[in-house]
Amino acid sequence: MAKGKTKYKQTKFYLAFALVVAALAGIAHLWKLSPVEEQMLAKRQQHIEKDSVAAPAVIPDIPEDPENLEILENSESPETIDNPEEQTVLFTDSLPFDSTSSTFFSCKVWSYPECFNDSNATQLIAAEANGIRPAETREEIMKLVRKGLLTDISTSPYYIIEDLTHSMPYLVPKAQLLLNTIGINFVDSLHSKGYPLHIPVITSVLRTASDIQNLQQGNINSVTNSCHCYGTTIDITYNRFVPLEGTDLTCYDANLKKILAEVLYDLRAEDRCYVKYERLQACFHLTVR
């Protein structure tokens, strides 16, 4: 008799277990992630598994040494040859933003080099399609400005133009619209996250052929057929930002860099621009599409 009861209890246990499994499977189906989310999570999981031995669970973004970048950032950033051996910077999965914390983790940008890897060749195609014909001299640029083909971007509430030595503050209207959108979205993102408001700093804009020649004299990485010659391309530094309150620049702020990266990530996903992460020049090099 006891043996029959034991068998009966086992049958009920297996039946209940099967019902629980079926219920969990149904819930998992209802809450199934979208293909895009699954792809992003799978990508991050690959990074975590790849670096699980050599890296800790959370890898903070370490800004570049200001002393090593001082000379580079005092002059405009030239375009550089793609570097496949560039070290990847990893981020964790999405975490809530805490304005009292010193670290903000991006849920979109898991690696600067991988998320922003549009080469100069790719950007050049877009520059030729959307921009002006490259000019030999600055006098030619001013003629295009008077014709309305180029827009003066030297003054704006949405960004700051750094002192330009090898380029001019002019863009085609489509590129100016993109730049305004970047500045507006950046401030809006900072506000929504409860972070002090800043605007980005532009370090390089439109170059003439003579500007390129002068730049090449001091930097071997500068390319002759530059996207900057078409009025479609800008460099935005990720190491310096201008606060809306106060006078001193905010430098080497990992949170501001990541929030700016998220803004560019969204615009790139909307096919508004191509973006290349420049580690040596400490900037996001982008071209309007």
Task: For residue 151, report the phi and psi dihedrals to the nearest 5 degrees.
Answer: -115, 140
Say if residues 145 and 152 touch (Cβ distance below 8 Å): yes
pLDDT band at 28 (very low <50, low <70, confident <90, very high): very low
pLDDT band at 37 (very low <50, low <70, confident <90, very high): very low
pLDDT score of 94: 36
Average pLDDT over residues 62-67: 41
Tell me, what amino acid is at 246?
A: G
pLDDT score of 104: 63
Backbone torsion region of residue 271, taken as left when φ is above 0, otherwise alpha when ψ lies between -120 and 50, otherwise beta: left
* 260 vs 16, residue with greater confidence: 260
pLDDT in tens, 75-90: 465 444 443 333 334 3
pLDDT score of 12: 66
pLDDT score of 60: 38
Average pLDDT over residues 31-57: 45
pLDDT score of 182: 98
Q: Is 117 exposed, middle or buried (0-12, 13-18, 19+ CB in 10 A)?
A: middle
| pLDDT of 35 above 90 | no
Least confident window among 6-20, 89-103, 178-192: 89-103
Vertex 37: Cα angle to 279 and 187 (nearest 5): 50
pLDDT score of 247: 81
Say if residues 288 and 178 touch (Cβ distance below 8 Å): yes
Alpha helices per DSSP H over 77-194: 112-115, 120-130, 138-146, 173-192
pLDDT band at 124 (very low <50, low <70, confident <90, very high): very high
* 172 vs 42, residue with greater confidence: 172
Least confident window among 72-81, 148-157, 163-172: 72-81
Q: Across all residues in the chain, what is the average pLDDT?
A: 76
Integer angstrom CA distances of residue 111 from 37, 47, 59, 95, 108: 16, 9, 11, 16, 9
pLDDT in tens, 236-270: 999 999 999 988 999 999 999 999 999 999 999 99
* 1 vs 196, residue with greater confidence: 196
Say if residues 159 and 286 touch (Cβ distance below 8 Å): no
Most confident of 53-57, 107-111, 149-153: 149-153
pLDDT score of 32: 46
Pairing of strands 283-288, 233-243: antiparallel
Give the N- to C-terminal CA distance of the chain in Å, as an integer: 80
Integer angstrom CA distances of residue 109 from 83, 177, 190, 231, 232: 19, 24, 16, 27, 24
